[in-house]
Structure 1
Amino acid sequence: MPVFTVNVKWGKEIYKAVELSTDEPPEVFKAQLFTLTNVAPERQKVMLKGVVIKDDWGKAKLKNGVTILMMGSAAELPKEPAEKTVFLEDLSESQLVSAMDLSTGLQNLGNTCYMNSTVQLLKTVPELGDALKQFNGQALSNIETDVSGSITASLRDLYSQMEEKKYAEVPPLFLLHLLRKQCPQFAEKNNEGHFMQQDANECIMEVMRILQQNLKSTGKRKDFIDQFFGVDYSVTMKCKDEEAIEEAETKFPESSLQVNCFISQEVKYMMTGIKSKLCEEITKHSPSLGRDAKYQRESKISRLPSYLCIQMVRFFFKEKGNINAKILKDVKFPMTFDMYELCTPELQNKLSPMREKFLAEEERKNEEKAAIKLKGGDALANLKQEKKDVEYERYDFENDPGSSNSGYYELQGIVTHQGRSSSSGHYVAWIKKKGDDWLKCDDDTVSPVKGEDILKLSGGGDWHIAYVLLYGPRRLEIHQPAKTDSTTAETPISMETDTN
């Protein structure tokens, strides 16, 4: 970690041996100067050899003993309040979680951030919480034949404990014990006898497979996970070899619980990475030619789930070092996502009615904003007023509960990885709370962040990089026309949706 000991000159004052870390942004250093000088960070101008330091360290030539110049005047000290202030550090753990409306954190039990981030991500699916509450199994430590049932019960009990918010953090000891019993790869140790870091996406998929065995579907799908996460494809395979003129085109179905975004040099956006593998050229045995030949493989989505889980395929095996190396490339992902163009024509036709409702609602809101502005009102403030008893349209097809009837999604959770290899580094979950408010769930530390912080997780460096993204259904509020009378005009109605 690049840490320097510098001197800071402020007017006639010189502060010696001030520590500065370039791993932290300049805002952190300015906050440190604020404690020394009482000059608020926004009033500071920090310079090093004529270079003004702003949002990053840029071209600043730092070394031990260098003198940094700070300009700015200290603000007047505030008067002591009439009522004693209650500080966050004076609150108990449970009071702190309640006061800040935070989620309960999970203790890291030794390289278990991969499991903690998985638990936090899946907790954002309310239907999963309801299904777990209806599961009647027991979490038993000595069971040998039905470990998956005990894991399901343990996850249910852990979520219940987290929802109570009695503690700022809880230790998921029992779930970890059972998961390592069911999946031996998670019990792997290094040469020093310590449990090794594991892949978070592998953990997500293993937990999903375990839940598949125990949570029943409420519709016609095989199980609950398949009902709410299952993606169906219609695959077409056509031989491109000129000698295989008579070989017929073949079609067959496929399914998955996850959509993959493959990352190459050309991929800059998540949609591009997803499309790259839905239409590709492969080599396989040709029955008509009796040899390998090139085929065009094209996949179209024939069924969309309510919750879309997308993996950014960032790890690849590197023989040198015998590790799963990481692709750090910046790949942008959206807060709202539309899967329409990846669907079969048949599914597109089924999605159209709900999509037309979304379009009509957008037009209605735009007209409402324009009307409010003409009256001299604040359109944004009016549209963002809180409403009680909000009702929403169905987000799934009536004959297929757990599907998506529009193809529109909103981002509700991310698991990021920081590091250069899947067998090392650190995993963190980022969970949408409401609107532009998010939570960073870094094991036992849960802190509030904003949407702009989420968009910075697209990659390009050693910061946290999006690895698994979970999109939930975009909700359409049922519009109730306002009542009118002979003396008053129609009252604008807020149409802000809440994906949580």
Structure 2
Amino acid sequence: MVTISIKNAGKVYDIEVELSDSGKLFKDKIQAVTNIPPERQKILVKGGKVADDVTIESLNIPEGKPVMVLGTPDKGLPSKPVEKQVFLEDLNESSLYKVDNEPSGLVNLGNTCYLNSSLQVMFSISDLKERLDTFAASSGANSASTLTVALKSLFGQMKKKQQNVNPTIFLTLLRSSFPQFAERSDHGFYKQQDAEEAYSQILSTLNSTLKVEDLFRISFKVKSKCLALPDEVQTTSYEDSSKLSCHITISTNFLRDGILSGLKEKIEKFNDTLQSNAEYELSRTITRLPKYLTVQFVRFYWKRDTQKKSKILRKVQFPFELDLSEMLDEDIKQEKVKVRDEIRRVEKDNLELIRDFKKAKTVASNSSAALVNNEEEELKLLSIKSKFQDDLKAALPDLNLETTTENPSSVYQLQAIISHKGASADSGHYQAFVKDPTDFDGDKWWKYNDDKVSVIEKEKIEQLAGGGESDNALILLYKGIGL
């Protein structure tokens, strides 16, 4: 005899079975505890539908992990009393809270949109939240630990999705740790700051406490060539960065162009042979890709006549799926492309399952039972994702996709964006855009305008490419495909 846990409608039940029991007997035992007839049961196990003639042993159910069971109980059975309907206008202010799945916004505390947008993008990073959940400051904690604890508390409030969150404590500690964010105008108001600087400073702090560097670290091989002495042997060095830069010139139309431009540069330095300064060309190739890739549009530059950071407004289009294979060093390129192609194959194999889910979701959303079906949809989504991960593990047995901090392939999917509206980094308005993780197609995105949260479609994201003083993408956060 073995015990299998099943989960239905938020409740977990333990069922005793023998490994030789049939699928039909398993369904009968499920009915005994859930009142769901076998014909209505949807048992989410690897491989899909549970046939009546299969054995429990053949299902390979993971030990200690509840099996999701979908379905509604027999209507002829007693149900709980109908609760009295409460109308919104009958509630007082203290009783109001969000009852849908809308994420929490962040209150603007006076020119703090740069911080709110940065925090919303970081909140979309699941690995970051997991490490924060287990963080505990030691005795004699320093400012970095204190700031990390404050972020843990802030994210804990945001997870509840019940109200807009006030980030006062975190903001106060940030200004204490980094006085640049406490600058005031001549009138005594706090100044607008650069979102990229806030994003980078917070991640730098988290690296000292949570050791998150490897999640974002990009490594390069750098070849240096003296242009005045073309026959001189090139030198090779190595360097790391936490982001890729997209440099924008009058000929930059696409993200790829700007990144490639940033991988090459010319500098002047002393040459021993010439005994004088000479011009060198530096060429970089990527030797390590992180799980999360940050790409910064280099839109701001210092303008001497105005003594301000001015903005390059040129339109630069960016992809929802980014393949960096052409920028990789030859030492890693072949393996990254091989893994990329294997992930593509697994995606193709799961395409029909995803299509069926989306079709069923569309039908359910147009029916009166949409709310009832919500939990089932979430469970189906988890099942599909679980199957996809299981298939990936089988296809890539030498890779631990759950613990890796490196992208095993060359492909990324766009996950979040920080945008800027205006002509100067020290003014204007920052917003965040985050892809809904429950949407397979990436058509649904959340727009965070401080405490105002709304849903927008993918087409609106494409408009963040720029071309004027309206919202321009400033920071793109990509996540490795399949991770």
Same fold? TM cut 0.5: yes
The answer to whether the Cα contact below 8 Å between 1:94 and 1:166 also exists between their aligned partners in 2 is no
Q: Which residue of 2 aligns with 1:152?
A: 148
Distance 2:475 2:309 in 1: 17
Q: Which residue of 2 aligns with 1:200?
A: 195
1:424: Cα distance to partner?
0.6
Matches for 1:446-465 after TM superposition, within 5 Å: 446-465=453-472
Aligned residue for 2:436, secondary structure, equals strand
The answer to whether the Cα contact below 8 Å between 2:343 and 2:482 also exists between their aligned partners in 1 is no
Amino acid at match of 2:217: G
Q: Which residue of 1 aligns with 2:169?
A: 174
Residue 360 (1) aligns with residue 345 (2):
yes
Residue 164 (1) aligns with residue 160 (2):
yes
1:111: Cα distance to partner?
0.6
Distance 2:95 2:320 in 1: 31
Q: Which residue of 1 aligns with 2:242?
A: 257
Residue 308 (1) aligns with residue 288 (2):
no
Amino acid at match of 2:471: H
**TM-score scaled to structure 2, two decimals?**
0.71
Matches for 1:326-341 after TM superposition, within 5 Å: 326-341=311-326
User: 1:310-361 deviations in whole A, cap 9, x for unaligned?
Assistant: 1000001111111100011100011111111111111112213321213324
**Residues 89 and 324 of structure 1: CA distance in aligned 2, closer, same or farther (over 3 Å):** farther
Amino acid at match of 2:482: R
The answer to whether the Cα contact below 8 Å between 1:137 and 1:153 also exists between their aligned partners in 2 is yes
Q: Which residue of 2 aligns with 1:430?
A: 433
Distance 1:284 1:108 in 2: 46
Q: Which residue of 2 aligns with 1:439?
A: 446
Q: Which residue of 2 aligns with 1:346?
A: 331
User: 1:227-256 deviations in whole A, cap 9, x for unaligned?
Assistant: 1001001111111213x63x3211111001
Q: Which runs of 5+ in 1 are unaligned?
A: 1-83, 216-222, 370-376, 477-500
Q: Which residue of 2 aligns with 1:137?
A: 137
Q: Which residue of 2 aligns with 1:98?
A: 99
Instruction: Identify the match of residue 212 of structure 1 among 207, 210, 219.
Output: 207
Distance 1:456 1:332 in 2: 9
The answer to whether the Cα contact below 8 Å between 2:412 and 2:478 also exists between their aligned partners in 1 is yes
The answer to whether the Cα contact below 8 Å between 1:97 and 1:103 also exists between their aligned partners in 2 is no
Distance 2:239 2:273 in 1: 24
Aligned residues: CA RMSD: 3.0
Amino acid at match of 1:211: L
Greater alpha carbon shift after TM alignment, 174-183 vs 398-407: 398-407
Residue 381 (1) aligns with residue 342 (2):
no
Distance 1:89 1:129 in 2: 37
Residue 413 (1) aligns with residue 416 (2):
yes
Distance 1:234 1:127 in 2: 27
Distance 1:381 1:109 in 2: 43
Q: Which residue of 1 aligns with 2:406?
A: 403
User: Runs of 4 or more off by more than 6 Å in structure 1?
Assistant: 84-95, 377-380, 382-385
The answer to whether the Cα contact below 8 Å between 2:295 and 2:475 also exists between their aligned partners in 1 is yes
The answer to whether the Cα contact below 8 Å between 1:117 and 1:428 also exists between their aligned partners in 2 is yes
Distance 1:378 1:126 in 2: 27
Aligned residue for 1:137, secondary structure, equals coil
Amino acid at match of 2:303: K
Amino acid at match of 2:445: W
Distance 2:449 2:152 in 1: 21
The answer to whether the Cα contact below 8 Å between 1:94 and 1:165 also exists between their aligned partners in 2 is no
Distance 2:234 2:128 in 1: 40
**TM-score scaled to structure 1, two decimals?**
0.68
Residue 273 (1) aligns with residue 268 (2):
no
Distance 1:261 1:88 in 2: 51
Q: Which residue of 1 aligns with 2:371?
A: none
Aligned residue for 1:381, secondary structure, equals helix
Indicate the percent of aligned positions where both proteins have the same amino acid. Answer: 32
Q: Which runs of 5+ in 2 are unaligned?
A: 1-84, 363-376
1:289: Cα distance to partner?
1.2
1:197: Cα distance to partner?
0.4
Distance 1:298 1:383 in 2: 49
Aligned residue for 1:310, secondary structure, equals strand
Q: Which residue of 2 aligns with 1:57?
A: none
Aligned residue for 1:213, secondary structure, equals helix
Distance 1:397 1:133 in 2: 25
Distance 1:462 1:160 in 2: 35
Between the two proteins, the alignment pairs up a number of residues equal to: 371
1:156: Cα distance to partner?
0.4
Residue 190 (1) aligns with residue 168 (2):
no
Richer in helix (by share): 2
The answer to whether the Cα contact below 8 Å between 1:397 and 1:404 also exists between their aligned partners in 2 is no
**Residues 129 and 92 of structure 1: CA distance in aligned 2, closer, same or farther (over 3 Å):** farther
1:283: Cα distance to partner?
2.5
